[in-house]
């Protein structure tokens, strides 16, 4: 395994594995026995960075979520897991009532919600401190200053370590970080967005966000990251939920444009050159790029997880990186 540091403050920064394990469906679609086996193997192979959210997986039973955090809490207690494993969770997108969703009825990002939701997450995870806490989705009904101060209070109380943000417009991230800096408060340091080798269209409306591109790491976000080297990008859905390798999975509709076949062709060529799978090439491209990204992978079986873990040791050449970057 390889590792990198997230965060800049010596009091809160952490060293984490360059491949993060997503626990979204653990405890719901993925049963407890399988979930425990996946978590155990990930840790045995040196993995230290696990991702969840307080609303996972509300859509599986029409509830409000919490199954993933609860399972991770049971796993932590049964294995005696301590501070050596960094668990990141999110708040803001938990449905306020069963049978609703985070598009039409989210909990939001008020100071009251931040405090209460974080406390519930700590209880479910069985920990006194959340290693990384993300603002999951935007809440434009609450003053940004209130959100910034609400998160900062938890850091000051040492019940939260690093702060993160997901699925926000880049200007909102910068405005929140500027407010925090001006007030001498901790700000967002870990950014989680959807990012993969294929490039999505930005003109396709998204049912999940106010604007179609908010969930994707696009050119504007990467421009921002180049100017802020202390920030870390965590990429969710790097393998497009199996669309690269599973013939039964379609590439999502927002990737349906002329550039996609060209990038897929180069990807397959490089997989053939390296003897690796196309999934492993995608992950190695993210991990080993000039602006490193931490891929966040899901798995429902040990073979899937082992395939992803093997990508950590795949070293692409500069020429291979350049060809993947240039294909369009």
More confident residue, 252 or 148: 148
The arithmetic mean of pLDDT across residues 86-98, rounded, is 96
Model confidence at 272: pLDDT above 60: yes
Sequence ranges of the domains in the chain = 3-240+291-299
* CATH (one of 2.30.30.30, 3.50.50.60, 3.20.20.120, 3.20.20.100) for 3-240+291-299: 3.20.20.100
SS (H, E, C) the chain: CCEEEECCCCCCCEEEECCEEECCCECCCECHHHHHHHHHHHHHCCCCEEECCCCCCHHHCCCCCCHHHHHHHHHHHHHCCCCCCEEEEEECCCECCCCCCCCCCECCCCHHHHHHHHHHHHHHHCCCCEEEEEECCCCCCCCHHHHHHHHHHHHHCCCEEEEEEECCCHHHHHHHHHHHHHCCCCCEEEEEEECCCCCCCCCCCCCCCCCCCCCECCHHHHHHHHHCCCCEEEEECCCHHHCCCCCCCCCCHHHCCCHHHHHHHHHHHHHHHHCCCHHHHHHHHHHCCCCCCEEEECCCCHHHHHHHHHHHHCCCCHHHHHHHHHCC
Tens-digit pLDDT profile for residues 68-85:
999 999 999 999 999 999
| Contact residues for 227 (Cβ-Cβ < 8 A; gap 6+) | none
Q: How far is Cα 179 from Cα 139, in angstroms, rounded to an integer?
A: 16
The arithmetic mean of pLDDT across residues 154-182, rounded, is 97
- Are the C-beta atoms of residues 128 and 112 closer than 8 Å to each other? no
The arithmetic mean of pLDDT across residues 22-31, rounded, is 98
Tell me which of 225-234, 249-258, 280-289, 305-314 is least confident.
249-258
For position 247, what pLDDT does the model report? 86
* DSSP β-ladder status, 86-91 and 130-135: parallel
What confidence category does residue 165 fall into, taking pLDDT thresholds of 50, 70 and 90? very high
For position 206, what pLDDT does the model report? 62
For position 249, what pLDDT does the model report? 87
For position 213, what pLDDT does the model report? 54
Q: Which residue, among 202, 207, 323, 196, has the nearest Cα to 257 in the 3D structure?
A: 202
What confidence category does residue 103 fall into, taking pLDDT thresholds of 50, 70 and 90? confident
Residues designated as active site:
56
Model confidence at 159: pLDDT above 70: yes
More confident residue, 215 or 44: 44
The arithmetic mean of pLDDT across residues 275-289, rounded, is 97
For position 209, what pLDDT does the model report? 59
The arithmetic mean of pLDDT across residues 286-291, rounded, is 92
pTM of the shown model: 0.95
For position 291, what pLDDT does the model report? 85
Model confidence at 251: pLDDT above 90: no
């Amino acid at each position: 395994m390889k590792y990198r540091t997230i965060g800049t403050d010596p009091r809160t920064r952490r060293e984490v594995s360059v491949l993060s394990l997503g626990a979204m469906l653990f405890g719901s679609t993925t049963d407890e026995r399988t979930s425990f086996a996946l978590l155990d193997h990930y840790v045995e192979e040196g993995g230290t960075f696990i991702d969840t959210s307080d609303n996972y997986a509300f859509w599986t039973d029409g509830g409000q979520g919490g199954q993933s955090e609860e399972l991770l809490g049971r796993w932590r207690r049964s294995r005696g897991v301590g501070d050596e494993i960094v668990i990141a969770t999110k708040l803001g997108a938990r449905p306020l009532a069963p049978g609703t969703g985070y598009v039409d009825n989210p909990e939001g990002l008020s100071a009251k919600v931040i405090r209460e939701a974080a406390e519930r997450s700590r209880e479910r995870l069985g920990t006194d401190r959340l290693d990384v806490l993300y603002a999951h989705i935007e809440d434009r009904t609450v003053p940004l200053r209130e959100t910034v101060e609400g998160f900062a209070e938890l850091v000051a109380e040492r019940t939260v370590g690093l702060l993160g943000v997901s699925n926000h417009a880049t200007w909102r991230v910068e405005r929140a970080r500027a407010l925090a800096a001006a007030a001498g408060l901790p700000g967002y340091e870990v950014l989680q967005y959807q990012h993969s080798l294929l490039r999505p269209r930005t003109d396709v409306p998204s049912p999940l966000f106010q604007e179609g591109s908010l969930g994707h790491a696009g050119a504007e976000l990467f421009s921002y990251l180049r100017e802020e080297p202390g920030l870390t990008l965590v990429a969710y859905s790097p393998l497009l939920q199996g669309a690269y390798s599973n013939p039964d999975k379609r590439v999502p509709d927002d990737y349906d444009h002329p550039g996609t076949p060209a990038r897929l062709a180069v990807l397959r060529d490089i997989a053939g050159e390296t003897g690796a799978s196309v999934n492993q090439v995608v992950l190695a491209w993210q991990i080993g790029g000039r602006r490193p990204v931490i891929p966040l992978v899901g798995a429902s079986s040990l073979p899937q997880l082992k395939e992803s873990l093997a990508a950590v040791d795949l070293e692409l050449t500069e020429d291979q990186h350049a060809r993947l970057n240039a294909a369009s």
